[in-house]
Structure 1
Amino acid sequence: MSDTAIKPQDDNSYLISGELNMQTVPGLLQQVEPILNRSQDEEVCFDLQAVTRSDSAGLALLVEWMQFARQRDRKLSFRNLPEQLRDIARVSGLEDLLPLS
C-alpha cells in the first residue's frame, strides 16, 4: 500500500496521492475539514492525478467531501480523476454529480 496524503499545491489547490480505499479514507475524511474552513469563499480544488488506486470507498470520500463543503457554503472541485474512479462513479450513477474541472 502506498502512503496516502493531501498536499497543498497552492492556496486553494491540493494534491491527493496514494490509494483511496477502506483503510485510507477515514484519515483523509478528517483532513478536509480544516482545508475547507480555511478556504473562505474561494473554490478548493482537489487534484487526484497522483492517486494510484481507488475503490468505492474513494468515491464515497469524494461524495462526503462534497456534502461537507455544501453544508458550509464552500465550493470544491476535482481535477484529474483517475479512470478507475471515474468508472466507479459512472457505474454508480454519480459521474454527473461530481464537480469536475
Structure 2
Amino acid sequence: MNVDADGKVCLVGPLTFSTVSAQLAASAALFTDRSRLCFDLSGVTAVDSAALALLVEWLRMGREHGVTVQFSQLSPALRSLGTVSELDQIDATLAMS
C-alpha cells in the first residue's frame, strides 16, 4: 500500500471479508509522520460490510494518531452500506464521493 506526498492512498481490488485484514495490517504504518490521509476507493472492485468496518477503523486510527482521514470515490454500494448502518450520519467523511 503506497501513499503519495499529499497523503493519497489508492486502493485496488476487493475490500471484503477475505481482504480487509491484510489491508488493515498494511495500512498501520501509513498513520505515522503525516497529518492527512485520503483513501481513494476508485479502484475497489467489490465491497461488503467488512469494507465499511475497515473505513471506520481507519477513522479511529486517524483520531488516535492525530491524522485527518478522508475517503474519495466511494462506490454506490459502499455508500449504501454506510446509509443502512447510519454511519453516514456519524462521520461525514463516509458520505464523501
Aligned to 1:53: 46
1:89 paired with 2:62, answer no
Aligned to 1:17: 12
Contact 1:25 1:57 in 2 (8 A): yes
CA offset digits 1:30-81 (Å, max 9, x no partner): 1221111132x3x110000010110000000000010011011111100000
| Aligned equivalents of 2:23, 2:32: Cα separation in 1 | 15
1:63 aligned partner, one-letter code: V
TM-score normalised per structure 2: 0.88
- Bigger helix share: 2
How many residue pairs are counted as aligned between the two chains? 93
Contact 1:48 1:78 in 2 (8 A): yes
CA offset digits 1:2-41 (Å, max 9, x no partner): xxxx343x211010110011110000111221111132x3
2:74 aligned partner, one-letter code: L
Aligned to 1:37: 32
Instruction: Report deviation, 1:98.
Output: 4.4
* Percentage of matched positions with identical amino acids: 33
TM-score normalised per structure 1: 0.85
Give RMSD over aligned pairs: 1.4
In structure 1, list runs of 5 or more residues that go unmatched: 1-5
Contact 1:78 1:98 in 2 (8 A): no
In structure 2, list runs of 5 or more residues that go unmatched: none
| Aligned equivalents of 1:52, 1:26: Cα separation in 2 | 17
| Aligned equivalents of 2:37, 2:17: Cα separation in 1 | 24
